[in-house]
Each structure stands twice: as structure tokens, then as C-alpha cells.
Structure 1
Amino acid sequence: MVRDLEIENKKYVILTSPLSLEGTSDTDYKAPNILQLIFSLFKNVRPGADLTRFQLPPLFNMPKSQLQCYGELVYCVNKDMLSKCAKGENAIDRMIAVIAWNLSTVRTPTFGVAPYNPVLGETHHASRGTLNILLEQVSHHPPITAMHATDETSNIELVWCQQAIPKFHGTYIDGVINGKRRLNLLQKGESYVMNSPIMQFRLLPKPGASWVGNVKIKCQETDLEAQLSFKSDSFLGFKGGNGAIKGKIVESSSMKKLFEIHGHWDRIVYIKDTTDGETKVLYTPKEVISALPTPTLRDPVEGVWQSESAAVWAEVSKGIINKEWDKAREAKRAVEERERELHKQRKSIGEIWVPKHFDLCRYTPENGWDCTPKQKTVSPAPIILPI
């Protein structure tokens, strides 16, 4: 479903359905000729190259920004997994809930299309119930996104700072997401630090997409750590291992194994107590991220910023959805030209751009990028997910 909404200043906001378990989006959009993209990469990009500055034509864009994609991982759910993290009676229960919530942020990749690269200062502000989320593109080169989410009812805070680095490796592309993701359970005084798996797109011999790599979720205050491993299928794509996940929960100090985790993140995930062998269902994605509704605007409409992703890219999205490629191309060029002109203006007067909503910490090899929200809480947003 697509919602084309007009705000007071006559600027349009295009809101589209989030990626769901089924891998569908607004119009179930797929690139019309994926071979064209593959040949373009082989022709213009060397293996090992960073694709951050590789410009995709609208033909290979999905009608939404990367900021919206990040935000939707958190607020677009049918079942509130996040508030459960703070309700566990003990540290083990809370860690198990955090793992289940973390799995709910993993969505089926759409092969052959990519979201827009956000412009500097672009924002996405959305709410689901009492959870309010704000994202800002705090750097353009390198591209760094900051997220702050708060739920004052559940005493929960999320702070993410991440840099997506797509790298071309000849027969596949790795979408590595560097940076910290922190989930703070404020009432419990616990902070869970985690990373993201790698989104891998295979080009040859059988095109496809999957999540791979290792994820660690660690809580310093409780001495608990979860280790998850996302598995892809074979190189030829016929092994059937796509979506497989294995892992464990350990005591960080002693590395004593407390629980084992296994299953498929896109089907069902189980957890086994190593003490008594009891196995339970940890996460069922069909209940959480299947057939997700389309976000909408509050009524009455107010408070949509000019920097909102759904407004910045509205004309481009409209062209893509209607398959009016010339209009989409011109609209995208206009957004990018405006970004370049603003950069020139700042450079000419020696002005250094400063993020509006976050303080950005510089990169270090040990900690990567990090950020600090300027406000303690996030306000309710004009964009909401119906619940």
C-alpha cells in the first residue's frame, strides 16, 4: 500500500509499506532487469571497491530512504517485542527478551534494489504507540546515521550510530554495517551493546540475498553475553541453509554456556536450557513482522519537517511507484544537486555543518563511530504506525 499525503506547505509525503517477512514492500517493487545492474558493476567497479559513492539510477532504487529502512526495523512490528525486554523478572529473562527483539529487527532483504542514500541533515521521525524514534544523517562522507528512540512508559532507550559500507567482491556484495547499537533498560540500569549482521547479495551463479556473519549482544552489568551466527546457503545457492541461525548465551567472565539457540530467523528460533535440556520457542517471526501495515500521518497533520525523508524524496518515490523513470531521474538529480549546492555554500564561507539532534563522536578503531543524542527523550512524531 502507498500513502500519498500532502502537508500544509504543499510538499508531498510518500509513505510506503515496510519490508515484511515476505520480503514485500509498497508495490512489491522489483528491479526490471537485474542483469543490467550486474553488468554495470562488472564494467565500472573493481572487486574490493567501496560502493558508498556508486550512484544507482532510480530504476534500481526502492521508494524510500535508508533512514526509513533503519527506523522501520524498530517501529514497524505487529507485536511489541521491545517493551518485553524491560519486563523480565531476572537478568536471564531480560537477555532472552533482548535476543528475541534483536531478531525482530532482521528483515528479508530485497535483491536488486536499494534505498536512497540519505542527504546530510535528512531526518526520519516516527512513532508506534509510546515509542518515539528519531533518525538523522549526521555525516555524508562517510555516510553515518544516528538513531535515538525512547519509550517513557517502558523506561527504554535506543541509541544507534552506524555506517553502512557496501563492498563489491566480484560475485557478491557485502553490506557491512559498522557502529554501535545500544539498548538501555533505564529502570534496571542495564545497557545491551550489539552489532549488526552482514547483508550479502550474491550476483553469481544464482542471484539472491541473505544475512551472514556473527552478532554479539553483551550486557556489562549482568555479565551476560549472547553470540549469534547467521548462516547463508552454499555458493551455488542450492543447499537450503538460508536463514539458519545458531548461537548461545554465556557468562562473559567464565564463558560458561547457559543456553543454546538454533533455528531459522525467518521461520522459527528455539532456545535450549543447557542445565535441564528444556527447549522452548524463542522467536516466531510470522507473529511479529508478517504483513506489516503502512505508516500514516497523525490527524490533524502537523509537525512534518522539511528534512523528513518521506518529504525529501517524495517526487522521486512517486516517479518510481508510477514507473515514470524520466520524472524519477530528474527528481533525484534535483535532490542531489541541491545537496551539492549547499555543500558549496558552506565551503565558500568556511562553515562547518553540525548535526541538529546528535553530537557525533569521532571514529576510533576500537569503538567505531558513536553518537550522543542532544535531547533526553524523543517527542511524539507526525508519522505513526497504526496499531
Structure 2
Amino acid sequence: MTTEEASAVPAAQRGSWTSFLKSIASFSGDLSSLTAPPFILSPTSLTEFPAYWCERPDYFAAIADAAAGQDRALAVLRWFISTLKDQYTSRNEELGSEKKPLNPVLGEVFYGIWPDKHGRGETRLLVEQVSHHPPITAYVIENATKGLRLVGHNAQKTSFSSGSIIVKQIGHAVLTVGTGPSAEQYLITLPRLRIDGLWYGSPYIELAETSYIVGGGHICTIDYKGKGYFSGKSHTFKATMTPQPGMGGAGPREIVVEGTWHESSKFTKGGSGVFYEVHEHKEEADPLPWDTEIGEYETRRLWFLVAKGIREGDFELASREKSRIEVRLCFSCG
């Protein structure tokens, strides 16, 4: 174990971390079935992750305010880019490294509200774990005032390659803007993730390969690159937007936006100036209280003691409660 690794991994967990690394290096199936050392666990279930799409609700509401066509397609792209920092770097900043989220149980739910501010309307989120084998999370995000509704599902398939964990995000989301015959729809796919820094005990996420946003008469291709061994910069992307053939897309033939999805980006073709700058402020959800009809499957209630143990460094409590939930609920799912 290197000096860097030794400083990142708690002394009491170094043996289990080394064993975990050996396990993933030799494992041939989906890595999500492996048990991770407690110190690398997140206190948050995957059921809460769709909330990252909502934490800058002003950008979500701005989609409806933009003119149909190129302006709205750019507003969708701007909102999508604004969600990436919180989704993929916030745990490094808050917890010191990327953490493995808790695997949801079948029927686990999360319900969040972002109140109306500045006349943008209230944003609501409902998430449910709809499958356990394979694990699939479904979600609905709605701003009724603005006529916005996003419906999607997500699953992960993980593997090990060249010293990194590769996470293929399976699923997509469909964003509907407006109602009736004039409604527009945007299909949004998800980037692939590469988890690096494993050998130092400080995992972090890089986005990889390509995702797409298709709608509003335009196709947007988003290419992601990270820092390589000898060159490159972390968290970079290049988004190329072109009119969709046969769909009446208007405006410049091609628009290109480049930069870093966790800091800032700018137009490099078909426009000028700053496209998006990440601001630290984000809005947390107001979750539905535990004493409502949702009951014990509300995610924060279900994992309360596990999260408490992780946050307080009581890994014995976290492991015991996690095992209790898995035996009582997960294994009964089949």
C-alpha cells in the first residue's frame, strides 16, 4: 500500500480495502453485487439521486420560457449541464472522495419539493425503485406552472477495466414541454462513468464517451473527456448542436459549446461568450415528512441508522443495519 493510499484509507479499513480491490480486479460479473468496505459507502441511497436533476430549478423552469426551436434546445442543454457538477463531484467535496451509494430495495421511494421562487413555479420529484433484479430506478419531475414534465428510468451495469470501475448507465429520460398538440419532447440519454483513483483509496468520477439530447428540431451530441496519464484536463466536454434533418430546426447550422462541466463553458462556434458558469448555490429538496402515508419505504427513514453510522464513523452500526435491511427486504425481492 502506497503512502498516498495509506493516508486516504482509515487505518482500521486498510485490510478490507485491499481485499475489495483484489475482488473487483478478479471479478467477471456486475460489480454492484460486491460488498464494499463501510468507509467507502455513501449515506444516501440511489433512490435520491434523481434529485440532482432538480437542484437548480431556475434553469429547469427557464426551458419553458425560451422560444421554441434553437433557443429552447440550448436551454435544455444548459439545464442538463447545470446538473452534472452536483451529480458527480459533490460527494468528493463533502465526503473527501466518491462513495458507493446504498442499493435501493424494491418499492423504496423518495418525494421532494422545490418551492416556487421568483415566479418560476414549484418543482416536484417522485422516485420509486421499480425493480430489484436488475435494479431500476424510475422518476418523474414536474413543474406544472411551467408545463414541464420529465419521466425517466436509470440502472447501472458496472465492470472493471484498466484499473478503473466503468459504470454504464442504462436508461433515458423524456422531457415534455407544454401540453396538447404544441408540446415538444426531448430525449435525453446518460453518459458513461469511469471511477478512477481506486488505488489511492480516493475514488472520483470522470464522465466518458457520449450522451445525446434530441428534440426541438435539434440534435445535441455531448462528448466527455477527462485527464489522461500525460495530458488533458478533468471534467471537460464538447457539445455540438445541429438542426435535426427533416424536423425544421432553424438557426446556425452548427453550435459548439466547450468547457468543463463542473466549472464553466463557452460558445466556440455559432455563438459567443459564456454558455454556463457553475455557481455554488444549489437548492436542496424539501422531502415529504416520514409520518405521511409513504411509511417505512421512504428512503431517508429506511436508511436512517445506516446513514447515521456512516456519517459518525460508526461502521459497525452501519454494517449491522445495512445487513438487517438487506436480509429483511432485499432478499425477499427474489
Structure 2 length normalisation: TM-score?
Answer: 0.82
Name the CA distance, whole Å, in 2 between partners of 1:261 and 1:243. 14
Alpha-carbon distance in structure 2 between the residues aligned to 1:89 and 1:49: 47
Q: In the alignment, which of 264, 272, 297 is matched to residue 307 of structure 1?
A: 297
Residues in 2 aligned to 1:136 and 1:50: alpha-carbon distance in whole angstroms: 22
**Partners in 1 of 2:217 and 2:330 — Cα distance?**
48
Shift of 1:160: 0.8
CA contact (8 A) 1:213 1:230 kept: yes
Q: Work out whether 1:124 is the aligned partner of 2:124.
A: no
Question: Larger % of helix: which?
Answer: 2
Structure 1 residue corresponding to 2:99, chosen from 97, 113, 121: 113
Aligned residues: 303
Aligned to 1:364: none
- In structure 2, the CA distance between the partners of 1:32 and 1:185, relative to structure 1 (3 Å rule), is farther
Higher relative contact order (CA 8 A, sep 6+): 1
The AA in structure 1 aligned to 2:213 is I
- Amino acid corresponding to residue 314 of structure 2 in structure 1: E
In the alignment, the residues of structure 1 paired with residue 28 and residue 164 of structure 2 have an alpha-carbon distance, to the nearest angstrom, of 10
> Structure 2: which 5+ runs fail to align?
1-7, 116-121
**2:313 is aligned with what amino acid?**
K
Q: Does 1:166 align with 2:158?
A: yes
The one-letter amino acid paired with 1:326 is E
For 2:35, the equivalent position in structure 1 comes to 55
Change (3 A) 1:330 1:261: same
Q: Which runs of 4+ in 1 moved over 6 A?
A: 298-301
5+ long unaligned stretches in structure 1: 1-29, 345-387
CA contact (8 A) 2:69 2:217 kept: no
* Within-5 A mapping of 1:1-387: 32=10, 36-37=16-17, 39-43=19-23, 45-46=25-26, 49-68=29-48, 70-77=49-56, 80-107=58-85, 108-109=88-89, 110=92, 111-129=97-115, 130-187=122-179, 188-203=182-197, 208-219=204-215, 222-234=216-228, 236=229, 239-253=231-245, 257-274=253-270, 278-286=271-279, 290-292=280-282, 294-296=284-286, 302=292, 304-340=294-330, 342-343=332-333
In the alignment, is the contact (CA less than 8 A) between 2:109 and 2:298 conserved in 1? yes
1:250–1:177 Cα change, 3 Å: same
User: What's the offset of the Cα at 1:179?
Assistant: 0.8
- 8 A Cα contact 1:75 1:127, kept in partner: no
Partners of 2:320 and 2:273 in 1: CA distance: 53
Question: What is the CA distance between 1:175 and its match in structure 2?
Answer: 1.5
Distance, in Å, in 2 between the alignment partners of 1:146 and 1:300 is: 21
1:262, 1:44 → 2: CA distance? 34
Name the SS for the 2:146 alignment partner.
coil
Q: What secondary structure sits across from 1:52 in the alignment?
A: helix
Amino acid aligned to 1:131: T
Q: Secondary structure at the match of 1:81?
A: helix
Find the aligned partners of 1:258 and 1:72 in 2 and give their Cα distance.
Answer: 32
Aligned to 2:118: none
Deviation, 1:123, is 0.6
Q: Secondary structure at the match of 1:339?
A: helix
The one-character-per-residue Cα deviations of 1:244-296 (angstroms, maximum 9, x if unpaired) are 1112111221798421111111111112453xxx413221112xxx2545545
Percent of paired sites with the same residue: 22
What RMSD, in angstroms, separates the aligned Cα atoms of the two structures? 2.7
Letter in 1 for 2:266: Y
